[in-house]
Structure 1
Amino acid sequence: MRPASPVPTLSPRPRLSDFLQGMGVLGRAFKLIFRSRRLFLLSSLCAVLTAIALVGLAVLLYRYAPGLLESVWARPDSWYGQAGWYTALVLGSLVAWVVGANVVPPLLLTPLQDPVSEATEAECAGADAVLSPASFLRGLTTGLLHTLARMALLFLGLAVLLPLNFVPGLGSVAFTVLASLWTMLWMAAEHLAAPMTRHLYPFAEVRRMLRERRALCLGFGAGVYLLLWVPILNTFFLPVAIVGGTLLYRALREAGDLPPPPDAQADARADAK
């Protein structure tokens, strides 16, 4: 007997409780990884490489973050000035670590992301067929362009918020909160866009889902963000995010929020000819 589908059932209309359902997608992703031998092996390989990247990022920040901050803000002599300086150092380093964790591991694991997403769809009821080599190449090209655009958007948002660090008092706290919210939303876009790009959806469809299913997507992004801070489990954050993003994509498809994938339509037209 085939196990129940891991794809969540979404409400027909957006609602605030979708935030919790978005976070719950990560639990479904974990269960699916440990249920599927192929997903478990791929995720374990991703986890090893992610652990190396996260430790490397932490070491680099520990060694160079103080010097970088001193280059723009000399360390004050007064005790209250030093308190503010160290607060900015800690909060800025935390944001930098999260941003680095969302840039470096995905670049290292680019060849594994599509196989993990495809294996996830293979485990879903009514999963699509594996893409042809031609479709894979089209998706790879589109995916590279989308990834560069998404990374540029992430850094643009953080650059806009960066001057808050120079506001006396709660400026650094405001930067950390707003930068974290921006990163959560970006995480949702990044991992939802991966399976959508593979099926040749335009990035405009990703933006539409973020806008129309805001609470659901923000909950998913918040879950991935929080996972980064859990020791040991955070090494699995990328494969869990990829699997979770694929499950979210399938759920949006089944709820009728997304039209049929462009690659399937193209294949249908080709068969008709």
Structure 2
Amino acid sequence: MRDIGAGFGYLLQGQKWVFGHGRWFGFGLLPGLVTFVLYAGAFVGLFYGADDLTAWATPFADDWGSPWQGLLRGTLTFLVFGLGLFLAVITFTAVTLLIGQPFYESLSEAVDRAEGGEAPESGRPLWQELWVSARDSLRVLVRVALYGVLLFAAGFIPVVGQTVVPALGFCVSGFFLTEELTAVALQRRDVDFKERLGLLRGRRTLALGFGVPLTLFFLVPFIAVLLMPGAVAGATLMARDLVGETSADEDEDEDGNGGSGESRPGTGAGGHPVQPQPNPYQQANPYQQQQPYRQPGPYSS
């Protein structure tokens, strides 16, 4: 339960960070606005075409009498909208991050510099960053689509389909939404897709505490656009936690007066400073060497 609260706390901290740095808030709004216009057009098309789609998919019901034909097709239309909304929440983030890759990279680096004084860089050119982001987003969407089909089918189960299935849908959406957002910071640290899933599986409640509330907020039109900059900032803070990096505030607390004489990271016995160790993310990727997170789980491929 503590991790759930911590995940939600990172979401709030991210929003606080961008509102405290107004230039970055406005900078991060632009990709979301473009994506919002595209998705609004898609939903208008779905609204006008959903009835025709369900009629085309159920030709066997053409001769059914009232109220059974309307009940069947009305239920299917509702499920089509539900599935579309489920996919939109996930794909909105993927598409926005792809469109706004340079924007959100810069925002994430600014958060890293504010918290730790340095921003790890992958060293890849922009075109390669875009390719990696698009490839990983596609891998997420394939997984989400599979879960979406299963949940769509389970939606026909009486009672369970109207209670348990929606809750599971929000959890799936929240987990993968967190993966997409933390990827901005973790890709710069050369943590690949499977390793990112491993990190999040190891802290699943943290991921859900961050992603599920954000998924619920994203259901409100236009809120997703306003929250995206803060979501990227909060996900960067979470990514630092996942890989064990400390923030500037934590470092100040450790180095402040009045503390105990116990040994702390970066100090020797009695608090005497020792030679700092090099940042492993600037030299080698420890996850690819040790691979401690490759454990089977419900989200693994």
**TM-score bracket, shorter-length normalisation:** 0.7 to 0.9
Structure 2 counterpart of 1:21, one-letter code: A
Task: Please name the residue that 2:208 is paired with.
Answer: 218
For the residues of structure 2 that align with 1:62 and 1:87, how far apart are their CA atoms?
15
Question: In the TM superposition, what whole-angstrom CA distance separates every residue of 1:203-241 from its partner, at most 9, and x where no partner exists?
Answer: 222122222111110111102201112344232243333
Q: 2:78 aligns with which of 87, 90, 106?
A: 90
Q: 1:111 offset after TM fit, Å?
A: 4.2
The sequence identity of aligned pairs, in percent, is 25
Contact 1:39–1:120 (Cα < 8 Å) also in 2? no
Q: TM-score, normalised by structure 1?
A: 0.76
Q: Does structure 1 residue 206 correspond to structure 2 residue 192? A: no
Task: Please name the residue that 1:40 is paired with.
Answer: 25
Q: Does structure 1 residue 51 correspond to structure 2 residue 41? A: no
Task: Please name the residue that 1:265 is paired with.
Answer: 283
Task: Please name the residue that 1:25 is paired with.
Answer: 10
Q: Please give the root-mean-square deviation of Cα atoms over the aligned residues, in Å.
A: 3.1
Task: Please name the residue that 2:271 is paired with.
Answer: none
> Quick check: 75-84 or 189-198, which moved more?
75-84
For the residues of structure 1 that align with 2:76 and 2:9, how far apart are their CA atoms?
33
Task: Please name the residue that 1:125 is paired with.
Answer: 115
Structure 1 counterpart of 2:30, one-letter code: L
Question: In the TM superposition, what whole-angstrom CA distance separates every residue of 1:49-75 from its partner, at most 9, and x where no partner exists?
Answer: 233134223212211222222333347
Q: 1:100 aligns with which of 83, 88, 110?
A: 88
Summarize the alignment of residues 178-193 of structure 1 with structure 2, pairs less than 5 Å apart: 178-193=168-183
Q: TM-score, normalised by structure 2?
A: 0.69
Q: 1:175 to 1:249 in 2, by over 3 A?
A: same
Q: Does structure 1 residue 65 correspond to structure 2 residue 50? A: yes
Q: 1:150 to 1:232 in 2, by over 3 A?
A: closer
For the residues of structure 2 that align with 1:250 and 1:146, how far apart are their CA atoms?
20
Q: Does structure 1 residue 142 correspond to structure 2 residue 142? A: no
Task: Please name the residue that 1:6 is paired with.
Answer: none
Q: 1:36 offset after TM fit, Å?
A: 1.6
Structure 2 counterpart of 1:113, one-letter code: Q
For the residues of structure 2 that align with 1:253 and 1:223, how far apart are their CA atoms?
23
Unpaired segments of 5 or more residues in structure 2? 247-277, 286-301
Contact 2:50–2:77 (Cα < 8 Å) also in 1? yes
For the residues of structure 2 that align with 1:249 and 1:39, how far apart are their CA atoms?
19
For the residues of structure 2 that align with 1:203 and 1:141, how far apart are their CA atoms?
13
Q: 1:78 offset after TM fit, Å?
A: 3.8
Q: 1:175 offset after TM fit, Å?
A: 4.2
For the residues of structure 2 that align with 1:112 and 1:49, how far apart are their CA atoms?
9
Summarize the alignment of residues 144-183 of structure 1 with structure 2, pairs less than 5 Å apart: 144-167=134-157, 171=161, 174-183=164-173
SS, match of residue 125 in structure 1: helix
Question: In the TM superposition, what whole-angstrom CA distance separates every residue of 1:159-193 from its partner, at most 9, and x where no partner exists?
Answer: 23332244466546554343332222211222122
> Quick check: 149-158 or 224-233, which moved more?
224-233
Contact 1:20–1:219 (Cα < 8 Å) also in 2? yes
Q: 1:80 to 1:219 in 2, by over 3 A?
A: farther
Between Structure 1 and Structure 2, how many residues are aligned? 249
Task: Please name the residue that 2:228 is paired with.
Answer: 238
Contact 2:7–2:210 (Cα < 8 Å) also in 1? yes
Structure 2 counterpart of 1:186, one-letter code: F
Contact 1:118–1:130 (Cα < 8 Å) also in 2? no
